Amino acid sequence: MKNLSKILFLCGVIVFTAFSCEKDNVDNKIFHVKDFSYDGCKSTSNKSSTDEYIEYKTVDENYLSVKHVNALFNCCPGKLIANAKIDSTKLIVIEDEEEHGCDCICPYDLNYKIGPLEYGQYQLVIKKGELLIYAEFPITFNSSTDTTHYINNK
């Protein structure tokens, strides 16, 4: 009877471990933003004359590293955030701020990775909040992707 209890316990541990490992592998394949960071406000103003651009390159084999330089947000944003989703071949990144606390804007540099991705052709869509499409352009994602895209927001 004691041996049967031990065998059942070991079977339970094996099943639990198998499902836990499988769940980790599935979670690692869900398209998401990782390693999000940003630099503080560069300067406050009502208008910005600095160039805004997006640098993107392949890292970690199946992630796209994105640096959004001089992204304009409120100068009192609380916290800046980014989320991502994939819709067929559209890579949609939603950049947003928690608060709109002041009557001024300033440029920030946002850094993050999106993925995992398979090599291929995509449309990168950068949104400000859920509704405003801020930039949209085609990209080729492969092992040597390393490009800069300038945003014309004047």
Contact (CB, 8 A) for 72 and 107: yes
Q: Residue 11's pLDDT is what? A: 52
Q: Residue 8's pLDDT is what? A: 54
- With CA atoms as reference, report the closest residue to 56 among 137, 150, 145: 145
pLDDT tens, residue order, the chain (154 aa): 556 565 555 555 454 554 444 433 334 579 999 999 998 898 755 454 579 999 999 998 899 999 999 999 999 999 999 999 999 999 999 999 998 878 999 999 999 999 999 999 999 999 998 889 989 999 999 999 999 999 976 5
Q: Residue 153's pLDDT is what? A: 63
Which 8-state DSSP code applies to residue 106?
E
Of how many residues is the chain composed? 154
What pTM, to 2 d.p., does this model score?
0.77
Contact (CB, 8 A) for 134 and 72: no
State the chain's mean pLDDT as an integer. Answer: 84
